[in-house]
Amino acid sequence: MALRLRFSHPLRSFRASADLTVERGETVALVGPSGAGKTTVLRVVAGLLRPAEGVVTLDELVLLDTNRGIDVPPEHRRVGYLFQEYALFPHLDVWRNVQFGARRGQDVAPLLERFHIAKLARARVHELSGGERQRVALARALARDPALLLLDEPLSALDAHTHAEVRAELRELLDGLGLPAILVTHDFEDAATLAHRVGVISDGEILQLDTPTDLVALPRDSFVASFSGATVLSGAVVETRDGLSRVALDDGLMLWSADEERGPVTVAVYPWDVSLGAEVPHDDSRMNHVSAAVVSVAPMGNRTRVRVGPIVAEITSASAERLDLRPGVVAVASFKATAARLFPRSGSVD
Amino acid sequence: MTAETITVSMLAIIVFGTPAAYWISTRQGALRDALVTLVELPLVLPPAVAGVGLLVAFGRVGLLGGTFDALGIDIAFTKVAVILAVTFVASPFYLRTAIASFEVVDPTLPAAARTLGARPGRVFMRVMLPLARGGLGAGAALAFARGLGEFGATIMFAGSLQGVTQTLSLAIYEQFDIDFDVALAISALLIVLSAVILLSVKLVTRWRSGSASVTLFAAFARRPT
């Protein structure tokens, strides 16, 4: 069961468009800043928005074809849609919420059991925690036995503590269902964990659609790089020598990059390519050493993100502890010239 | 007399007004603004103008009067006239509040209902109506209170024929000249009735707090977007 989607629709300040195929059992994530047109894609697939022009098919089944005047209403599309903030009905209890999506005479008790919400069957929506709401919304979306799944920011309404746990559950669920699924999120890490392919959206356009690994290895431009987690700095190439470019950053720092560019550039450095030390190491193959004060230290589980001057490094929490990194302490961030990727920048436009 | 006409008027307002209000609430832009203005018009119209308007439309020599006359139906100065006048004057109170209560329902809820297999009719009955219930009740109570005190349009269009078209408000006006005590008594009755209605609206909205409870102010303060 493959979902094929192609549409174009004018929004307030730009035109939203997409052209993609999602295979059976595949999850495609769309990431981008808020207002980039991610949810528009889901609304078109669900039939909640009729685009100016487009075609949506599920295998041979045509759900939308503006040229032929076909527009199957949402109630007949067999789409499981998990809304942002979940859109549970506040006037119904958990059982009735799930029952709403079910067919006449269908028993929803097994679904409640499966999502561990049987005990909450009589609870009202406002009594539930974020994680519980998400499970109710998922059970409701699956009650109709959907042929495809749409997830709009499924994890953003959760606190940091339940986030990782629910993400793992969701991953398992998506694998088990084997449906084509489109997931919308502003968090690249969530996208990379949950999806087989990730599309980076900006101003209604999918800039790059690739596996998470390829996106990080070969970002098409500085926007994709920054959205996939890179620190992006602006500067200009002042010298090229032996295939290397010497870049003067806007704040005066000098860096080496293995990419050949000329003129104004943006430099992208992924935090996991940067290591930290107390002083500049001797006999080091790495060409870039930025010595600056630590700006911030943010632990994230077993890893810690440390910002040294303009550079962000991601190191193990054990190393961060050993180096005794605190804001204000001077540290050296080191990375190879190959880890500093250059993208041409035209004048003042980023 | 008053009880009968107001009951019929309220039924008409709720049965036709609720779907109409929902329909208007789903429109956007200029059409919505135009419709809301049309709904609000009786609110700002002097009651005498409303009465004249109804006479011109439905009176024996009016625009539609000829048609009704030919069918042997005479509307002006009958109970039907009272019902029309009360409906005309009271309906904006219900419609405006109803439109506002439908508009404050989170639009993703009906959208979610659609993706869960509900046709538009079921979305209306199972999602929109229950969620707007508080506001609809408040609007109905206000329309009821306004209809109860309706005077101007009724006396113009229906006259004040005791036992036929004389409502409580019209009776006050008549008794004012004849027996002041009777006028006073009817007035007291209306005051108590109105107070009870307003109080019950407050109690109901407080009891249902947590769900969409639209007050009169919220309904009218909300400017067309």
Assess: ipTM above 0.90: no
Look at residue B165 in the predicted model and tell me its pLDDT.
66
Q: What is the pLDDT of residues A146-201, one digit of tens each?
A: 999 999 999 887 887 788 888 888 999 999 999 999 999 988 889 988 999 999 99
Single-letter amino acid, residue A22: V
Judge whether A200 lies within some domain. Answer: yes
Judge whether A102 lies within some domain. Answer: no
B23 or B43, greater pLDDT = B23
What chain A residue is nearest to B109 in terms of C-alpha separation?
A87
Shared domain check, A263 and A317: yes
Look at residue B75 in the predicted model and tell me its pLDDT.
67
Quick check: A232 and A217 in contact, CB under 8 A? Answer: no
What chain A residue is nearest to B106 in terms of C-alpha separation?
A87
Cα end-to-end distance, chain A, whole Å? 40
Side-chain half-sphere of B38: how many Cα atoms within 13 Å? Answer: 9
Look at residue A68 in the predicted model and tell me its pLDDT.
94
- The fold of the B2-221 domain, in CATH, is MetI-like fold (1.10.3720)
Nearest-neighbour CA in chain B from A14: distance (Å): 20
Look at residue A12 in the predicted model and tell me its pLDDT.
85
Q: What is the pLDDT of residues A277-327, one digit of tens each?
A: 988 888 788 999 999 999 999 888 788 999 999 999 999 989 988 998 889
Judge whether A33 lies within some domain. Answer: yes
Shared domain check, A321 and A176: no
Quick check: A343 and A266 in contact, CB under 8 A? Answer: yes
Nearest-neighbour CA in chain A from B126: distance (Å): 9
Quick check: B187 and B109 in contact, CB under 8 A? Answer: no
What chain B residue is nearest to A74 in terms of C-alpha separation?
B115
Of A223, A248, A264, which marks where a domain is finished? A223
Nearest-neighbour CA in chain B from A295: distance (Å): 41
Percent share of chain B, pLDDT over 70? 75
Of A223, A241, A260, which marks where a domain is finished? A223
Partners of A150 in the beta sheet? Answer: A81, A182
Side-chain half-sphere of A266: how many Cα atoms within 13 Å? Answer: 20
Look at residue B51 in the predicted model and tell me its pLDDT.
76
Q: Which residues of B touch A140 (CB under 8 A)?
A: 116
Distance CA A138, CA A121 (A): 14
Shared domain check, A281 and A218: no
Domain definitions of chain B by residue range: 2-221
Residue B214, pLDDT above cutoff 60: no
Show the domain range for A300: 230-344
Q: Would you list the DSSP string of A272-328?
A: GG-EEESSPPSS-S--EEEEEEEEEEEEETTEEEEEETTEEEEEEHHHHHHTT--TT
Q: Would you list the DSSP string of A159-212?
A: -HHHHHHHHHHHHHHHHHH---EEEEES-HHHHHHH-SEEEEEETTEEEEEE-H
- Average the pLDDT over A115-124 and give the result: 90
Shared domain check, A45 and A167: yes
Please tell me which of the candidates B109, B119, B130 has its beta carbon nearest to residue A87. Answer: B109
Mean pLDDT in chain B? 78
Split into its structural domains, chain A has a count of 2
Distance CA A234, CA A239 (A): 16
- Average the pLDDT over B46-53 and give the result: 76
Judge whether A106 lies within some domain. Answer: no
Judge whether A142 lies within some domain. Answer: no
pTM of the model: 0.78
Judge whether A74 lies within some domain. Answer: yes
User: What is the domain-level CATH number for residue A174?
Assistant: 3.40.50.300
- Average the pLDDT over A4-21 and give the result: 92
Of A175, A206, A223, which marks where a domain is finished? A223
Report DSSP state, residue B211: B
Give SS3 for A6. Answer: strand
Look at residue B66 in the predicted model and tell me its pLDDT.
67
Is A87's CB within 8 Å of B210's CB? Answer: no
Judge whether A96 lies within some domain. Answer: no
Q: Which residues of A touch B124 (CB under 8 A)?
A: none
Judge whether A290 lies within some domain. Answer: yes
Tell me phi and psi for residue B176, to 5 degrees: -55, -40
Cα separations (Å) of A276 from A38, A85, A319, A323?
Answer: 37, 39, 9, 8
User: What is the domain-level CATH number for residue A261?
Assistant: 2.40.50.100
Residue A350, pLDDT above cutoff 70: no
* A–B CB contacts, 8 A cutoff, strictly below: 58
